[in-house]
Chain A
Amino acid sequence: MEIAFYLSAVVAVLATLGVVTGRHPVHALLYLIVSLIAVAMVFFALGAPFAGALEIIVYAGAIMVLFVFVVMMLNLGEAAAQQERAWLRLSTWLGPAILSGVLLLVLLVTLIGTDVGGRIEGETLTAKAVGTLLFGPYLIVVELAAMLLLAALVAASHLGRSEAHDESHAVRQVPSKRTADGRGRAASERSLGDDTSSEENSR
Chain B
Amino acid sequence: MTSLLALSPLILVCATAIVVMLTIAWRRCYDLTATLTVIGLNLALAAQLLAWWQAPLDVTLLMTVDGLSIFGGVLILVATLACATLGHAYLEGARGPREEYYLLLLCAAAGGIALVSSRHLASLFFSLELLSMPLYGMLAYTYRERGALEAGVKYMVLSAAASAFLLFGMALLYARTGHLDFAGLGEALASAGSDGWLLAGMGMMLIGLGFKLSIVPFHLWTPDVYEGSPAPAATFLASASKVAVLIVLLRLLQSAPATQDAWFHSLLAVLAFVTMLAGNLLALMQQDLKRLLGYSSIAHFGYLLVALVINEGLAVETAGIYLVTYVLTTLGAFGVVTLLSSPYGGADASRLHHYRGLFWRRPYLTAVLTVMMLSLAGIPLTAGFIGKFYIVAVGVEASRWWLVGAVVAGSAIGLFYYLRVMVTLFLPEPGMQRRDATTDWAQRAGGVVVLALAALVVLLGVYPAPMIDWVRLMAAT
Q: Which of A144, A156, A158, A163 touches B126 (beta carbons < 8 Å)? A: A144
Give Cα distance in the complex from A199 to B94, angstroms: 12
- B71 on interface, CB distance cutoff 8 Å: no
- A148-162 to B contact mask, C-beta < 8 Å, 1/0: 101110111111011
- Does B62 lie within 8 Å of A151, measured CB to CB? no
Give Cα distance in the complex from A139 to B123, angstroms: 10
A148-B126, A154-B104 known; A159-B114 Cβ under 8 A: no
CB distance from B473 to the nearest CB of A (A): 26
CB distance from B232 to the nearest CB of A (A): 15
- B445 on interface, CB distance cutoff 8 Å: no
Provide the main secondary structure of the chain B interface: helix
The closest CB in chain A to the CB of B143 belongs to A162
- B457 on interface, CB distance cutoff 8 Å: no
A138-B122, A141-B126, A144-B123 known; A154-B108 Cβ under 8 A: no
- A126-167 to B contact mask, C-beta < 8 Å, 1/0: 000000000001111101110110111011111101110110
The interface size bin for chain B is: 35 or more
- A203 on interface, CB distance cutoff 8 Å: yes
Q: Which of A138, A158, A202 touches B137 (beta carbons < 8 Å)? A: A158
Q: Which of B95, B108, B152 touches A151 (beta carbons < 8 Å)? A: B108
Chain B residues near A158: list those with CB within 8 A: 97, 100, 104, 137, 141
- Does A151 lie within 8 Å of B61, measured CB to CB? no
- Does A147 lie within 8 Å of B123, measured CB to CB? no
- Does A155 lie within 8 Å of B137, measured CB to CB? yes
The closest CB in chain B to the CB of A195 belongs to B95
Chain A residues near B134: list those with CB within 8 A: 151, 154-155
- B28 on interface, CB distance cutoff 8 Å: yes
- Does A140 lie within 8 Å of B129, measured CB to CB? no
A144-B126, A154-B100, A154-B107 known; A199-B137 Cβ under 8 A: no
Give Cα distance in the complex from A145 to B62, angstroms: 14
Q: Which of A145, A155, A202 touches B104 (beta carbons < 8 Å)? A: A155
- B111 on interface, CB distance cutoff 8 Å: yes
- B394 on interface, CB distance cutoff 8 Å: no
Give Cα distance in the complex from A20 to B97, angstroms: 36
- B241 on interface, CB distance cutoff 8 Å: no
Chain A residues near B14: list those with CB within 8 A: 143, 147
- B17 on interface, CB distance cutoff 8 Å: yes
- Does B96 lie within 8 Å of A165, measured CB to CB? yes
- B439 on interface, CB distance cutoff 8 Å: no
- B422 on interface, CB distance cutoff 8 Å: no
CB distance from A203 to the nearest CB of B (A): 5
Chain B residues near A155: list those with CB within 8 A: 104, 133-134, 136-138
- Does B126 lie within 8 Å of A151, measured CB to CB? no
The closest CB in chain A to the CB of B14 belongs to A147
A145-B126, A162-B96, A165-B96 known; A151-B137 Cβ under 8 A: yes
- B258 on interface, CB distance cutoff 8 Å: no
- Does A141 lie within 8 Å of B137, measured CB to CB? no
| Interface positions of A (Cβ within 8 A of B) | 137-141, 143-145, 147-148, 150-152, 154-159, 161-163, 165-166, 199, 202-203
Please, could you name 17 A-B residue pairs with CB atoms under 8 Å apart, sorted by A?
A137-B60, A137-B61, A137-B62, A138-B60, A138-B122, A140-B60, A140-B62, A144-B127, A145-B126, A148-B129, A148-B133, A150-B107, A154-B21, A158-B100, A158-B137, A158-B141, A202-B28
| Interface positions of B (Cβ within 8 A of A) | 7, 14, 17-18, 21, 28, 59-63, 95-97, 100, 103-104, 107-108, 110-111, 114, 122-123, 126-127, 129-130, 133-134, 136-138, 140-141, 143-144, 152
Given A138-B62, A150-B21, A155-B137, 5 extra CB contacts under 8 A: A138-B122, A148-B129, A151-B104, A154-B107, A202-B28
The 9 closest A-B pairs by CB, nearest first: A155-B137, A151-B107, A144-B126, A151-B134, A158-B100, A148-B130, A151-B133, A140-B62, A162-B143
